[in-house]
Structure 1
């Protein structure tokens, strides 16, 4: 089955897997919106009571059995569906995750081509721009008393809308809806061509430039995974470490930008009263799950290639805190540039701060565009995104391949390269709807639903199957045999009680706080939401075996309870003839 080639291969792969795009585009915004520095308290607490225990649990589980996420359920065959659920979640995430990498690769290539000139998202004189594009700083509205002055300052024609309109005593005015940043029009109108799609019923044709780069990203992934961990384990040394070189470079550059402190203040100033908001705790727990990545099968897969005596206990602790540190550090980098951008465009930091694709493909590129040497910094930033994305993709997709090979080892293991090629080709085909003109809507739908409730239910199910049914005592004895020491009381308490309770509470809060999927102002149609919930159901349907077995046993018990007892029949023995003769 094979092992990691070197001692550090596994550790670096874990770092690469855990530190991904979410550390850059999600955590800083969550921190800013949910109490600033105070958000670190629920984040670290959720790390200690849910993230870290699950991380070590899956590493120890996989290393002990040396099996992938499906075959490992020899420990409790009734729960084998958990492994299939993990693979289903990973497959759905891999499909849209590679499209995000495709976006980053497109920007990376454009930045490389633009080294001797200007970046194409810096001006409004391109074919894809509209009359609403604004490349110069926003005007200050202080002491403006009529709209004609605003018209002159903005360079927009609004006579038909503002004829004879006079404004006095104006204290605030939000005019963001009147204009579009060049970077926004570049992303939506040139990269995505979103204006050519109407809705989910008409998402438009395929974007040729994106499908070409999507194919490149899948081919690149194939060559890194065709020999399994023996190839990916070497690539990850560079892919997991070089992003930190870029992060440090961007951090130093960010601190030299005018207005950077305003951005950092918004990021770190604590709002202690937000700690009383239960939704803040829910978001902290959700971010921990997405970031560390339990229940995807990847941690089980990676640790299954470890030597039996490897100290995965140490690795779990170190990787978890590296992930936490990277998230916090990335926030300083992101918000130093957002502070610079707010200063440069006469806006407030809170008005330019967004999360998700809008941060890394609209706001941050806009900030970079105004730096000296912008193409170089853009190239470094998008190279970092590609590296972070591929690191996580390595582990998730290898989990799928290894799990299926472990299920059919005699047939597939000798044909690993051909099977891996087939899996990557299928992944490419399934990603095509996401590179249509309205593909960002499909991506958003998958990101919204594919790894939400199902992820937490799978985590809860594996704890029930191993810790509660197989037994905490047995599992700890297995770890003692493997590691040479008994897990501390902290691990036992979290696995047995604290983590399951935290997951149940998070499920309840997520159900209460759930909202329909949307992109910008477009709230997806009800039938689209139904498709999203169907994606939630796919991994859960695979967990049905315990429930079927339970109800089968229950029905059999009821059926037996309604049968006549052996005492039924004629009271006297001489009368027991016919069918009663042998009773």
Structure 2
């Protein structure tokens, strides 16, 4: 079967930016900044973009392009013993798709709620009690939240409808989906920075606390944020690379994608922290004492600010709609890419038609996402996200860079990249992938293990962290070792490029 392609360079660029730019930029990035010393987080983040983000992105796109296969089959084509690394990435992507779709479902609810600003004067109560119907602990699953279930149904129908005709059709749709949130972000930034107190929020955002740079948790959070935000280390960009044309210029495209991802994150940070500054001005509570983090920034903090926006109800409704439509646009194309990575892997391995693999993937992910639609869904989403993004992606970074840079041979991949680019990458790329990346991932993974063994994450009981965290990490890599043994292609063959 002939491999699909993007159809044009612009289709690929917009699709890859759409994959990289998502909720991780709009709320997760700002949450990481807030939790890790304000401006102190920005320096490790920018270093991580250039030290691991763009170099690893080049590596993964090159693997996909060279072998014209999804991640597991591409790794197997390099060396049969590497196939499990690709499956580990696919399993991580599968888990992320399940809980990421739940985040999109929350956004869907808030789009409808924006018409009346249904959260009123109590955004936290609306989020916890009306939307999530939150229980008291992870052990109290209770029933399902009907609003979240409806949001999930809408989300998965959109995914299937948008992706059913293949990557080229999807990419043409994503072009518009990527442009819309950038325009909205610019409008919102202009509004946010003009509000009273915004300058204090911006100052908190860009002023570093130098003492925080000695904390490994800050560096681990920055590197994890870059991996999560740029969609590297969990099969996505290898899959996207497999649909590239022969003459694609990987270094140029990687730089455009990486800088776009960073730029949109930084822009979203100005919106969020200007808004925090305004809330601080209104309430008299210092920014560093607000205790806003994670999803609360998107679903509590911003709605709270909208409730007291200058201009009254009409202005509040307009900016509510803009904000949550922006979040939906950012999130849905990222979800497309995550699902594409999983469905392509199974299509390649088990010789399934792409559309059939897509339907099976969506059904399986939707089934797993039901856990996060229970009354304890927020707790489990928080635990799983922490262990997947702060833990599993770091372990993946170790395995992937060692396998490719040391065992396969980074020179062969660099020569392949340089054969179709006007920007030749030099030996500095070898150094980053052979030494800097593995050492950084190893040190940060050790820090992750130490801090999580020593102190229970977010104060959760150990039994829940064991089930939703440690078991998840172990199962990811055990399944990755088992799946290659299952019957698939007799020989891993794509349309490999020399």
Cα deviation 1:464-505 (Å, max 9, x = unaligned): 222211222322233334447753122111112111111111
Matched, 1:526 2:478: no
SS of aligned partner of 1:296: coil
1:407 is displaced (CA, Å) by 1.4
Which residue of the other structure, out of 179, 190, 202, is the alignment partner of 1:264?
A: 202
Rg: which structure is higher?
Answer: 1
| Equivalent residues of 1:46, 1:288 under 8 A apart | yes
Matched, 1:402 2:344: yes
Q: Which has the higher helix share?
A: 2
Alpha-carbon distance in 2 for matches of 1:484, 1:343: 51
Which residue of the other structure, out of 239, 244, 254, is the alignment partner of 1:316?
A: 254
Which residue of the other structure, out of 41, 45, 48, is the alignment partner of 2:47?
A: 45
1:190 maps to what in 2? 130
TM-score, L = length of structure 2: 0.90
1:178 maps to what in 2? none
1:556 maps to what in 2? none
Alpha-carbon distance in 2 for matches of 1:215, 1:359: 25
Cα deviation 1:309-362 (Å, max 9, x = unaligned): 100110111211121122221111111111111111222222335221111111
| Equivalent residues of 2:28, 2:295 under 8 A apart | no
Alpha-carbon distance in 1 for matches of 2:290, 2:478: 41
1:209 maps to what in 2? 147
1:506 is displaced (CA, Å) by 1.1
1:543 is displaced (CA, Å) by 5.0
1:9 maps to what in 2? 11
SS of aligned partner of 2:219: helix
1:85 maps to what in 2? 88
Alpha-carbon distance in 2 for matches of 1:37, 1:297: 31
Which residue of the other structure, out of 90, 93, 99, is the alignment partner of 1:96?
A: 99
1:140 maps to what in 2? none
Cα deviation 1:26-81 (Å, max 9, x = unaligned): 32343344444343322222222222211111011111111111111211101101
How many pairs were matched up? Answer: 474
Written as runs of structure 1 = structure 2, the 5 A alignment for 1:148-547 is: 182-194=122-134, 197-352=135-290, 354-371=292-309, 372=311, 373-409=315-351, 412-413=352-353, 416-483=354-421, 487-514=425-452, 515-518=455-458, 523-542=460-479, 544=481
Alpha-carbon distance in 2 for matches of 1:310, 1:357: 37
Alpha-carbon distance in 2 for matches of 1:473, 1:120: 57
Which region of structure 1 is more displaced relative to structure 2, 437-446 or 360-369? 437-446
Cα deviation 1:504-552 (Å, max 9, x = unaligned): 111112122224344xxx623525523421111122224548xx9xxxx
1:122 maps to what in 2? 120
| Equivalent residues of 2:197, 2:277 under 8 A apart | yes
| Equivalent residues of 1:49, 1:494 under 8 A apart | yes
| Equivalent residues of 1:20, 1:391 under 8 A apart | yes
Which region of structure 1 is more displaced relative to structure 2, 30-39 or 95-104? 30-39
Alpha-carbon distance in 1 for matches of 2:420, 2:202: 45
| Equivalent residues of 1:352, 1:363 under 8 A apart | no
Cα deviation 1:147-203 (Å, max 9, x = unaligned): xxxxxxxxxxxxxxxxxxxxxxxxxxxxxxxxxxx1111111111111xx3433331
TM-score, L = length of structure 1: 0.78
1:101 is displaced (CA, Å) by 0.5
SS of aligned partner of 1:450: helix
Alpha-carbon distance in 1 for matches of 2:183, 2:378: 30
1:141 maps to what in 2? none
The alignment's C-alpha RMSD in Å is 2.0
Alpha-carbon distance in 1 for matches of 2:242, 2:371: 34
